[in-house]
């Protein structure tokens, strides 16, 4: 009220209004600049939509009709590591394709073997091998299996009409063999290929600890604080997302992880609780149990990683950042090397990527030589995703005798 | 050039920009002619014959910009509805800020007050949000509209009794909505939690506010609608459309539901609370200072820019979600285009204040309002930058977003409404605030409290976002590092809540301890 006399103070009846000044020039320039930027952004987003649509179209086209050359590159990527680029195999270890009676039987048989894998002794070209071939059912599409089967038959079989295998045939085959598991060595193959030479007998299944009622109790029912393994890792130890696949990992590796979880040298609240309730004997028994499980892969590339980069890291490594090939230590095809190096093939990509991140950040540090911290730390986030995705697409550790038929087969992918 | 989605988008964007430019050019050109015609007729009338006491060079121009709303019997009609709207809004403000403070404390004291379901974080935070948006901000904004619209249209508020009925219904609906949320009955979407059955009551109450305002606007006795009027009239037509479309039950599901949800949630800020705040500032800043707004053409740019660009802004919240990329890009572009209308409003409002800094010392309401207007500029600039993918992917799912939301809804709209209440209430009641010092205390409590709140959450939010994006750091680290910042937020929030209690005390003081004026009411201290 004291301010009533202030000369500046407006009268109560003053009414606001706007003056007639134009829009200042800088505002107009800003408006024009923003408009240009906006138009570019919008035009560009349409372009990215078009690019991704084209990519998708190309992908599906590529799946639909694979060119002959791709048979060769598929062979190189998936088969040549063991069967060798010239198809001669490795003496006493991997059967040859060249001159093989099995290959001579035609693309249908090759496709079946690719889908099911082989587990058991077989005699090929006068030599006997202890066969361990993984199933490629989860790793390759129908078109790819058809192309690969055709390629192998055309190149190494002596029949000229060997190349007749189409993606549709493989689709039918896939349904037919879905529940059969691996071929039980040459004995079972001989039933399909009468021209095979006499085949060695299958050895009797070893007395696996899976018959141990106590272990089965732990796996499927749990006990007090130890909830059942199957409740998270699946009935067949196949895992999902960030819960790892356990089937086929080295027994000693699994046992060590359980031990580390209990000691806290590997950090995970749930597993700490579970492992704290287990005896040493039980840990060993569980390790052996999961090591002998063989199930098809249910993993896939779900992290949108760059698969080509992943393949490069897994097979060659990247020495520019000091990263050795994964398979140098984790075994050919990432099947693992007992006792210390777990299999990586068919492991779930989210789990692998999360573990790599944990190594890099120091959250996980329970490897013997501290190798993984250094390697993971050198990888970028994109690299971690790429290699995790690539490994997830690989076929799982080859199957042994399908004695687990009492359990349901896991759904494929 | 092949026809792509991007080309179509870019072309329609160009066309709409051209239309906007043409519209502004056309309106401002026509207005100049009309104004010149007006000037002559008004001079002939001699208006009220009362000459302002400012001997400036613009004296001639200002002579015709006088109008006495008291003498015209306008304030007397608006007073009752406005007092009731502001009074009830203050109740919701106090309740809402207490709930907000409780929710804030729970983030660093997770075991506190967890004995019963209504006291848990999920319900406390939701109560806070809904009470301050629908209770405090909407009601106080409407009070300001009810006060200013009749004044700038030179005609008393039509159907004031309907407004009173609306106020009662709206308060009942907010109370029922609060009870529903506390008991766990919600629609399950952020900003739309109040069950749709109760929303119908809110809509009915809203109609009781809108009809009188539209009737008042139609009966206006002015040639030119002042800029505040555009914002207010647009807001009371935009909001019902938003509210009803977003609340229709069972119409959307999945991704569509999320899209509509964020279209609504962001538009409540931009097309409802923003026009209420900007319109109020547009009226009260020149009113208190006694100087005109800088440019009519610029205010056109500000208003029509908001109308064109804002409605698409909300979808940037769905970054990384399963919506088409181009929808998010469109939203990002529109968010950045918001620079234009915001710069326009900033020029018009801040220039006027900056040239008359003496008024800030003298008028506490102006202090609130121009601080709030400044925060509108800040919040909008920050929002435009935040919408860019490179920034949004770090800050979006963190407390940074919470700080930004409070910069807009609190530091801008709430604080403008505090100023408006302090300006309007003495004139509506014919009394002066009994304890002027408490008005200043209120100002410093809420501004300091807000600064603590904003800076702690902004810094903490960026750190939190960086931690969450780094896969090599465990998630728990991103939670733990926030603790000191969350504690600072509670301190800031306590100061703000204390400020609100002071605000309530000021209003009570005005009601029960203030001496009645013998003469015309004077500007509040």
Chain A nearest C-alpha distance from B300 (Å):
10
pLDDT for the residue numbered A159: 56
pLDDT tens profile A198-215: 888 877 655 454 457 888
pLDDT for the residue numbered A207: 46
| Closest CB to A14 among B226, B290, B470 | B290
Q: Give the per-residue SS3 of chain A.
A: CHHHHCCCCCCCCECCCECECCCCHHHHHHHHHHHHHHHHHHHHHHHHHHHHHHHHHHHHHHHHCCCHHHHHHHHHHHCHHHHCCCCCCECCCECCCCCCHHHHCCHHHHHHHHHHCEEEEEEECCEEEEEEECCCCCCCCHHHHHHHHHHHHHHHCCCHHHHCCCHHHHHHHHHHHCCCCCECHHHHHHHHCCCCCCCCCCCCCCCCHHHCHHHHHHHHCCECCECCHHHHHCCCCCCECCECCCCCCCHHHHHHHHHHHHHCCCCCHHHHHHHHCCCHHHHHHHHHHHHHCCCCCCCCCCCCCCHHHHHHHHHCCECCCCECCHHHHHCHHHCCECCCECCCCCCCHHHHHHHHHHHHHCCCCCCCCCHHHHHHHHCCHHHHHHHHHHHHCCCCCCCCCCCCCCCCCCCCC
**pLDDT above 80: residue A9:** no
Chain B nearest C-alpha distance from A126 (Å):
53
Q: Which of A42, A47, A360 to mutate to test the interface with B (most CBs of B within 10 A)?
A: A42
pLDDT tens profile A142-157: 888 888 888 888 888 7
pLDDT for the residue numbered B417: 97
> Are residues A20 and B17, on separate chains, in Cβ contact within 8 Å?
no
pLDDT for the residue numbered B58: 47
| More reliable by pLDDT, A117 or A66 | A117
For helices B364-387 and B339-354, the axis angle rounded to 10 degrees is 160
Q: State the complex-level ipTM.
A: 0.80
| More reliable by pLDDT, A67 or A328 | A328
pLDDT for the residue numbered A3: 44
pLDDT for the residue numbered A246: 92
Assign B225 to helix, strand or coil.
coil
pLDDT tens profile A155-193: 887 655 545 577 888 888 888 887 777 788 888 888 888
pTM of the predicted model, to two decimals? 0.78
User: What chain B residue is nearest to A357 in terms of C-alpha separation?
Assistant: B472
Domains of chain A: residue spans and CATH: 68-192 (1.10.760.10), 209-292 (1.10.760.10), 307-392 (1.10.760.10)
pLDDT for the residue numbered A131: 75
| More reliable by pLDDT, A324 or A47 | A324
Which residues in chain A are contacts of B10 at CB distance < 8 A?
A: 39-40, 42-43, 46
pLDDT for the residue numbered A69: 66
> Are residues A49 and B62, on separate chains, in Cβ contact within 8 Å?
no
> Are residues A46 and B339, on separate chains, in Cβ contact within 8 Å?
no
- Please list, in sequence order, all residues whose beta carbon lies within 8 angstroms of the beta carbon of residue B316, skipping any fewer than 6 positions away: B328, B331, B332, B335, B387, B392
Assign B366 to helix, strand or coil.
helix
Q: Which of A12, A14, A242 to mutate to test the interface with B (most CBs of B within 10 A)?
A: A14
pLDDT for the residue numbered A370: 81
User: What chain A residue is nearest to B349 in terms of C-alpha separation?
Assistant: A18
| Closest CB to B13 among A20, A42, A358 | A42
**pLDDT above 70: residue A342:** yes
pLDDT for the residue numbered A55: 75
pLDDT for the residue numbered A401: 38
pLDDT for the residue numbered A160: 53
User: How crowded is residue A358: how many other Cβ atoms within 10 Å of its Cβ?
Assistant: 22
pLDDT for the residue numbered B37: 59
Q: Which residues of chain B have pLDDT under 50?
A: 41-58, 518-525
pLDDT for the residue numbered B82: 97
Which residues in chain A are contacts of B35 at CB distance < 8 A?
A: 20
pLDDT for the residue numbered A104: 84
Q: State the average pLDDT over residues A119-124.
A: 84
Q: Is B252 part of the contact surface with chain A (CB cutoff 8 Å)?
A: no
**CA dist B129 to A286, B89, B135, Å?**
52, 14, 9
pLDDT tens profile A216-250: 888 888 888 888 999 999 888 889 889 999 988 88
pLDDT for the residue numbered A176: 84
> Are residues B32 and A38, on separate chains, in Cβ contact within 8 Å?
no
> Are residues B67 and A13, on separate chains, in Cβ contact within 8 Å?
yes
pLDDT for the residue numbered B39: 52
């Amino acid at each position: 009220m004291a301010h009533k006399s202030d000369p500046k103070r407006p009268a109560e009846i003053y009414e606001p209004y706007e003056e007639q000044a134009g829009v200042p020039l800088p505002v107009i320039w800003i408006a024009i600049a923003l408009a240009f930027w906006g138009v570019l952004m919008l035009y560009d987003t349409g372009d990215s939509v078009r690019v991704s649509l084209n990519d998708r179209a190309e992908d599906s086209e590529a799946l639909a009709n694979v060119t002959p050359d791709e048979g060769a590159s598929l062979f190189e990527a998936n088969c040549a590591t063991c069967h060798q680029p010239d198809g001669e195999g490795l003496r006493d270890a991997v059967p040859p394709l060249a001159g093989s009676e099995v290959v001579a039987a035609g693309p249908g048989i090759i496709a079946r073997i690719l889908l099911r894998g082989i587990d058991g002794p077989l005699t090929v070209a006068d030599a006997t091998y202890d066969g361990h071939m993984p199933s490629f059912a989860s790793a390759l599409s129908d078109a790819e299996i058809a192309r690969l089967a055709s390629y192998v038959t055309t190149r190494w079989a002596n029949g000229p009409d060997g190349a007749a295998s189409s993606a549709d045939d493989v689709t039918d085959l896939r349904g037919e063999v879905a529940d059969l598991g691996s071929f039980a060595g040459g004995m079972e193959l001989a039933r399909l290929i009468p021209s095979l030479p006499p085949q060695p007998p299958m050895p009797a299944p070893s007395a696996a600890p899976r018959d141990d009622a106590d272990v089965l109790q732990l796996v499927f029912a749990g006990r007090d604080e130890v909830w059942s393994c199957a409740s998270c890792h699946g009935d067949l130890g196949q895992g999902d997302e960030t819960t790892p696949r356990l089937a086929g990992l080295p027994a000693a590796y699994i046992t060590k992880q359980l031990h580390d979880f209990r000691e806290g040298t590997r950090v995970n609240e749930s597993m700490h609780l579970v492992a704290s309730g287990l005896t040493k004997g039980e840990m060993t028994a569980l390790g052996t149990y999961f090591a002998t499980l063989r199930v098809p892969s249910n993993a896939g590339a779900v992290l949108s990683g760059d698969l080509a980069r992943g393949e490069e890291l897994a097979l060659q490594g990247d020495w520019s950042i000091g990263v050795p090939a994964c398979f140098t230590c984790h075994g050919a095809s990432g099947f693992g090397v007992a006792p210390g190096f777990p299999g990586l093939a068919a492991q779930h990509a989210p789990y692998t990527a999360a573990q790599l991140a944990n190594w890099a950040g120091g959250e996980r540090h329970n490897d013997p030589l501290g190798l993984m911290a250094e390697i993971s730390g050198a990888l970028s986030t994109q690299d971690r995703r790429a290699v995790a995705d690539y490994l997830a697409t690989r076929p799982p550790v080859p199957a042994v005798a399908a004695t687990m038929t009492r359990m349901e087969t896991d759904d494929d992918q | 050039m092949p026809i792509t989605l991007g080309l179509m988008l870019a072309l329609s964007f160009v066309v709409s920009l051209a239309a906007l430019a043409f519209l502004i050019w056309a309106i401002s050109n026509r207005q100049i002619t009309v104004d010149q015609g007006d000037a002559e007729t008004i001079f002939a009338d001699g208006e009220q014959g009362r000459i302002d006491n400012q001997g400036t060079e613009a004296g001639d121009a200002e002579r015709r910009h006088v109008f006495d709303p008291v003498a015209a019997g306008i304030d007397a009609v608006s007073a009752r509805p406005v007092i009731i709207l502001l009074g009830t809004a203050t109740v919701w403000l106090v309740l809402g800020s207490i709930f907000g403070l409780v929710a804030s404390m729970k983030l660093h004291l997770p075991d506190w007050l967890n004995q019963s379901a209504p006291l848990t974080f999920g319900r406390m935070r939701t109560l806070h949000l809904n009470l301050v948006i629908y209770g405090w901000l909407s009601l106080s904004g409407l009070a300001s509209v009810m006060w200013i619209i009749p004044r700038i249209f030179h005609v008393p508020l039509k159907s004031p009794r309907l407004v009173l009925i609306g106020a009662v219904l709206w308060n009942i609906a907010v109370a029922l909505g609060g009870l529903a949320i506390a008991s766990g009955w919600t629609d399950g979407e952020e900003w739309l939690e109040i069950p749709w059955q109760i929303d119908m009551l809110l809509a009915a109450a809203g109609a009781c506010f809108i009809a009188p305002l539209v009737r008042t606007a139609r009966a206006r006795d002015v040639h030119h609608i002042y800029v505040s009027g555009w914002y207010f009239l647009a807001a009371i037509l935009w909001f019902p459309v938003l509210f009803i479309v977003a609340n229709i039950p069972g119409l959307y599901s999945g991704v569509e539901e999320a899209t509509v949800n964020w279209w609504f949630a962001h538009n409540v800020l931009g097309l409802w609370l923003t026009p209420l705040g900007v319109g109020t500032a547009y009226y009260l800043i020149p009113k208190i200072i006694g100087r005109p707004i800088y440019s009519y053409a610029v205010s056109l740019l500000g208003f029509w820019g908001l109308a064109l660009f804002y409605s698409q802004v909300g979808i940037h919240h769905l970054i990384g979600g399963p919506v088409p990329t181009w929808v998010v890009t469109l939203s990002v572009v529109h968010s950045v285009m918001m620079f234009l209308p915001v710069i326009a409003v900033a020029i018009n409002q801040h220039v006027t204040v900056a040239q008359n800094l003496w008024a800030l010392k003298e008028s506490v309401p102006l202090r609130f309002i121009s601080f709030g207007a400044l925060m509108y500029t800040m919040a909008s600039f920050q929002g435009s930058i935040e919408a860019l993918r490179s920034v949004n992917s770090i800050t979006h799912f963190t407390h940074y977003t919470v700080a930004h939301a409070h910069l807009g809804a609190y530091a801008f709209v709430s604080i403008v409404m505090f100023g408006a209440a302090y300006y309007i209430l003495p004139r509506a009641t014919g009394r002066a605030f009994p304890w002027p010092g408490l008005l200043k205390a209120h100002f410093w409590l809420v501004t300091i409290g807000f600064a603590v709140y904003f800076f702690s959450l902004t810094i903490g939010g960026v750190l939190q976002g960086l931690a969450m994006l780094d896969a090599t750091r465990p998630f728990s680290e991103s939670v733990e590092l926030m603790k000191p910042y969350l504690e600072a937020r509670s301190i800031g929030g306590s100061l703000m809540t204390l400020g609100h209690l002071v605000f309530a005390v000021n209003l009570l003081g005005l009601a029960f301890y203030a001496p009645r004026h013998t003469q015309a009411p004077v500007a509040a201290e």
